[in-house]
Amino acid sequence: FNDVAYDKKVDLTILTEALCIDCQRFFVNQLYPLLTNLNSIINFDIVPYGNAHIKDGKIICQHGEEECKINKYHSCMIDVIKHQYELVSLLYCTEKLLMEKNSFEVAKTRCYAEHSIDRALQNEIEYVSFIFI
């Protein structure tokens, strides 16, 4: 315990659910400001799975099918957008608009426009190919 590491970032893993109001409030009001201000010293990993479970081979989300859809979308964003600050900003945008009771389609469209996400990147986010073995 005597070693001091000055150049290491802190690893932070966040488990979240897209339509959980408490998760939305945490992300919008606490986590986003923290990550914005301390981006240079934090490596974060967001897991948009939350309180889901698997039943008969299908993922069941606590807040319904729409939440599963948005969680998958957030997973694709995480896979595609490699720059930490850009990812957090886009996640913040969608969560804030969802928290304000906008539909997912409205939130997604507005966030793409606000963050100048071009059509090619939109397609990459929305049509990520996964192979499960």
Q: What is the pLDDT of residue 130?
A: 59
Please state whether beta strands 10-15 and 42-47 pair in parallel, antiparallel, or not at all (unpaired). parallel
Length of the chain counted residue by residue: 133
Give strand pairing partners of 121.
Answer: none
Who wins on pLDDT, 6 or 2? Answer: 6
Cα four-point dihedral sign 53, 25, 83, 4: negative
pLDDT for 61-90, tens place per residue? 999 999 999 999 999 999 999 888 899 999
Q: What is the pLDDT of residue 131?
A: 55
